Amino acid sequence: MSWVADVVHGILLGGFYALLASGLALMFGVMRIINLAHGSLALIGAYMALLLTEHLHISTYLALAPVLPGALVVGYLLQRTMLERSLRAGQLVPLLTTFGLLIVIANLLQQFFSPDVHSLDAGRIGPASWHVSSTLSIPWFDVLTLAIAFTVLGGLQLVLRFTQLGRELRATAEDPDTAELVGVNARAVYARATAIAVAIAALAGVFYGMRSAFDPNAGANELLYAFEAVVIGGIGSLWGTLGGGIVLGVSQELGAQINQEYFALAGHVVFLAVLVARSAAQAPRIRYTLRRFA
């Protein structure tokens, strides 16, 4: 019966990955910006919440009220001051810019908050869980995370599909020059989308801080899982990101069931398998060659 528990826990863990990945999916999938600093921006959200809870003695959930609008502003400025210029220099330049940003953020956090680990208080639902059977218990906090991931991705999907901002964003992603020619302020649209992506990152960061201890270098690790979720789910598909997060979470939990050390490895293996399968499906010639040698 324990594998049932693993699958359930994997799905819930996948909800967290999906939440972490959704901002990334928006920037990577829709805007074609690979934001390597995504995990670090999430960490900034966690540290800001830490400051607020420590100094104002408010609950972590209440701290989201100032953290999220702050992240919107940070995202907007990030796009206007750095990413926009990088994008103009070619698709690979934002990769370098955000890699630099990742390092700068990690060092700044270390400077201000010390390399010690911190964690955020998850409130009363933190330790609470629902005991289904002797082997299966479902933590409330994980259910909340999955529900928020679902809401965020669903909300993003609705915005992209049915609002003017969503149409302008998709149009700009497909052809920025033509979008400008029909009246879309492409730079402002991208800045608004990055603002949303960074706010979602900060939200994910605060949830990350509540589920596990974090230090200034945690950004890069979390980024890796978020990336895997986006790629497994299929680039450009927001619901796919939720599916990708869940596939990743379930494979990690099942891998850990075989051997505790296989937790991360199982996720990476599934990620690579999906990549190989997809590129094989997209390249019939490779498939043909493989068949000939098989």
- Minimal distance, residue 160 CB to another protein, in Å: 11
Write down the H helix ranges in 25-136. 38-56, 60-78, 84-88, 93-113
137 or 164: CB nearest another protein: 164
Q: Residue 26 in contact with residue 166, Cβ under 8 Å?
A: no
Binding of residue 146 to another protein (CB under 8 A): no
**By C-beta, is 79 or 98 nearer to another protein?**
79
- Classified as helix, coil or strand, 260 is coil
Whether the Cβ atoms of residue 178 and residue 274 lie closer than 8 Å to each other: no
Number of residues that bind another protein (CB under 8 A): 17
Give the x-and-dash track for 150-189 against another protein (CB under 8 A). Answer: --------------x--xx-xx--xx-xxxxxxxxxx---
Least Å distance, CB 92 to another protein, is 22
How buried is residue 57: exposed, middle or buried, by Cβ count under 10 Å (0-12/13-18/19+)?
Answer: exposed
Q: In terms of CB distance, is 107 or 185 closer to another protein?
A: 185
Nearer to another protein, 116 or 177 (CB): 177
* Of residues 66 and 234, the one with the C-beta less far from another protein: 234
CA-closest candidate to residue 170, choices 234, 201, 178, 154? 178
- Helix (H) or strand (E) segment spanning residue 130: strand 129-131
Q: Which of residues 184-213 bind another protein (CB under 8 A)?
A: 184-186
Q: Do 53 and 63 contact (CB within 8 A), yes or no?
A: yes
Q: What are the residues binding another protein (CB under 8 A)? A: 164, 167-168, 170-171, 174-175, 177-186
